[in-house]
Amino acid sequence: MNLQLALLEKAAREGRLAHLLLFHGGSALHQREVALRLAQILNCDLPTPEGPCLSCSACRKIFSGNHPDVLWLKPLKTTLGIEQVLAWQEKVSLRHYEGNYKISVIEHADALTLPAANALLKIIEEPPERTVIILCAENAEGILPTIQSRAQLVYFPDLSEETWLERLGEVDRQEAAQAFSLSGRNQNLATAILEHGVSLLQEWIRKFRIAVEEEDFLKLFSLFPIDKNQAVLYLQVMAVKAQDGIQKGTVHPFELLAIGKASDVLRQQVNPRLVIEVLALELFQQGGALCD
């Protein structure tokens, strides 16, 4: 178990768990397992120093999904709509049946519609006593910022990311997660991004994109000077984004070709500024805005 999850369990045992948790990343199954264990810790009748006993009536009911104070909510269709949230809201505001804590686990919280998310927000702003809400999502970015800002974020790395993180040693986990995602799950690239600085890289790419969209040479000029290593790194990350965009149908394959060509030229010891300018020009001509 990683340190973050261990701390979470400790907080639950000591009765000082945050009212709202946002689980993101990793596998939905792992998120569910942790949510279930927290529910058991909070409601176990015979807790041990290591955690829930797993054999009392509360532990067993929670495990089988039959505990009246542990509510699981997941989308019935592709979205999680307002009707579902309102029905759930009613149950949350009822008094506790048998548990110490009322726990709600909202799976695929990134599928909440805007009205549903706003209804949820009302509960979050004034949570009933001894209530814990756990939002599970693949991506934290899919959650309304007003909800995100009220939640304690709990990031779940998957196995390949976890081994990568272990090798890195002490780093800012949130930043490492961003680097890993930007790299398209490529460990070497993720390490390079982290060493360079995630926000520096994102800022440069964002400005490059704006310069291309607006066909603005002045904005393009303000992106220099950069050295060759920087240029190689930026192009690699832009290629990952383009690949992603092509799969989603938001980016024309031409863009990936142009980025690939620029990377090849750069490897032949050409001035990085020249390569980036030529790439921008090619993208201007395609009228091709770099999309997200």
Q: Considering the rule CB under 5 A, would residue 52 count as an interface residue with Zn ion?
A: yes
- Side-chain half-sphere exposure of 84, counting CA atoms within 13 A: 20
State which of residues 28, 53, 210, 278 lies at the interface with Zn ion (CB under 5 A).
53
Q: Considering the rule CB under 5 A, would residue 256 count as an interface residue with Zn ion?
A: no
Q: Which stretch binds Zn ion (CB under 5 A): 13-21, 36-44, 62-70, 261-269?
A: 36-44
- The H-or-E segment that residue 283 falls in is helix 272-285
Nearer to Zn ion, 4 or 48 (CB): 48
Distance, CA of 292 to CA of 271 (rounded, Å):
27
Least gap, CB of 46 to Zn ion (angstroms): 5
B/e letters for 1-28, b = 16+ CB within 10 Å, e = fewer, are eeeeeeebbebbbeeebbbbbbbbbbee
Residue whose token pair is 């799969």? 247
State which of residues 44, 111, 135, 201 lies at the interface with Zn ion (CB under 5 A).
44
Least gap, CB of 234 to Zn ion (angstroms): 53
Q: Considering the rule CB under 5 A, would residue 226 count as an interface residue with Zn ion?
A: no
- How many residues bind Zn ion (CB under 5 A)? The answer is 5
Q: Considering the rule CB under 5 A, would residue 281 count as an interface residue with Zn ion?
A: no
Q: Considering only residues 54-73, where is the footprint of Zn ion by CB under 5 A?
A: 56, 59
Nearer to Zn ion, 10 or 206 (CB): 10
B/e letters for 86-123, b = 16+ CB within 10 Å, e = fewer, are eebeeebeeeeeebebbbbbbbbbbbbeeebbebbeeb
Distance, CA of 77 to CA of 28 (rounded, Å):
17
Q: Considering the rule CB under 5 A, would residue 211 count as an interface residue with Zn ion?
A: no
Interface residues toward Zn ion, by CB under 5 A: 44, 52-53, 56, 59
